[in-house]
């Protein structure tokens, strides 16, 4: 494997240490002459195996929080740590490898590559990591079966329903066994029945594979299944509810 394709492995961490930690994180955007304060000193700790929903009104900072956790955006101030690593100290290349190897992304718009099949979309991260073809085939075929798409790997996104496309996106997100999977409004573009199926699938992956999920959502169905709900208001935690 080349140096540019070096795989980032989990950092050694003390038992019980948070997987994700935000310390006093702020994010300010400029819209012309106006400053928009998306995050205002956000403090948050997320632990391995959590099934957590970030909720709150539009503009409360949910998606911005996911973006800074996922190293898609840089905080204006404060610290973001993933597996003990301070994202601010990482180079652009290191952040790219971190996103590839340790963070899964599920977007409401699916973000599949239209010219690739479901199989090829799901295997993309593994291919970038240099995983051998035979091993990739074993992993991707099992993933597609796990998400209910056995026998559909040859289909391109335009040959799949919205719910099926989101299943491919979930398979792609967890293909490399990331530390955390970030799901931004994953049920927004599917009907109610499909949303329930997708949520059941993600719950199963969380329970059986130990996949950590952080959702950004308005959907009461997601909140009903979440074992922890962090309610944001004006870029800060308003209340934090844990469930058994």
Indicate whether 187 belongs to any domain.
Answer: yes
Indicate whether 31 belongs to any domain.
Answer: no
pLDDT at 13: 37
Q: What percent of the chain has pLDDT over 90?
A: 69
Angle between helices 118-128 and 133-146 (to 10 degrees): 130
pLDDT at 110: 84
pLDDT at residue 174 is higher than 50: yes
Residue 226: give the domain boundaries. Answer: 48-75+89-242
The tens digit of pLDDT for each residue in 55-114 reads: 999 889 999 999 999 999 999 999 999 999 999 999 999 999 999 999 999 988 888 999
Which of 150, 171, 39 has its CA nearest to residue 106?
171
The pLDDT-based confidence of 120 (bands split at 50, 70, 90) is very high
pLDDT at 1: 40
Indicate whether 17 belongs to any domain.
Answer: no
Confidence (pTM): 0.87
Indicate whether 95 belongs to any domain.
Answer: yes
Indicate whether 167 belongs to any domain.
Answer: yes
**Domain CATH for 184:** 3.40.50.300
Region 230-240: mean pLDDT is: 95
Which range is least confidently modeled, 5-9, 65-69, 128-132?
Answer: 5-9
pLDDT at residue 239 is higher than 80: yes
Residues, the chain: 244
Indicate whether 149 belongs to any domain.
Answer: yes
pLDDT at residue 8 is higher than 50: no
Indicate whether 5 belongs to any domain.
Answer: no
Indicate whether 231 belongs to any domain.
Answer: yes
The pLDDT-based confidence of 16 (bands split at 50, 70, 90) is confident
What is the tally of structural domains in the chain? 1
């Amino acid at each position: 494997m080349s140096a540019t394709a070096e795989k980032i492995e989990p950092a050694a961490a003390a038992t019980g240490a948070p997987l994700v930690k935000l310390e006093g994180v702020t994010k300010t955007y400029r819209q012309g002459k106006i400053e928009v304060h998306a995050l205002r000193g956000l403090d948050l700790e997320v632990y391995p195996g959590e099934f957590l929903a970030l909720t709150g009104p539009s503009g409360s900072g949910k998606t911005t929080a996911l973006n800074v956790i996922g190293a898609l955006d840089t905080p204006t101030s404060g610290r973001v740590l993933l597996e003990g690593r301070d994202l601010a100290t990482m180079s652009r290349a290191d952040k790219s490898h971190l996103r590839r190897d340790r963070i899964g992304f599920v977007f409401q718009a699916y973000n599949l590559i239209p010219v690739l099949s479901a199989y090829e979309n799901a295997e993309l991260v593994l291919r970038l990591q240099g995983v051998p073809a035979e091993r990739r085939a074993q992993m991707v075929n099992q993933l597609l079966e796990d998400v209910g798409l056995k026998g559909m790997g040859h289909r391109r996104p335009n040959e799949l329903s919205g719910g099926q496309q989101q299943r491919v996106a979930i398979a792609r997100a967890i293909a490399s066994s990331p530390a955390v999977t970030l799901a931004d409004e994953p049920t927004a573009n599917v009907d109610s029945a499909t949303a329930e199926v997708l949520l059941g699938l993600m719950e199963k992956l969380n329970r059986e594979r130990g996949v950590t999920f952080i959702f950004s959502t308005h959907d009461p169905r997601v909140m009903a299944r979440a074992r922890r709900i962090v309610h944001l208001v004006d870029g800060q935690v308003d209340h934090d509810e844990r469930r058994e």
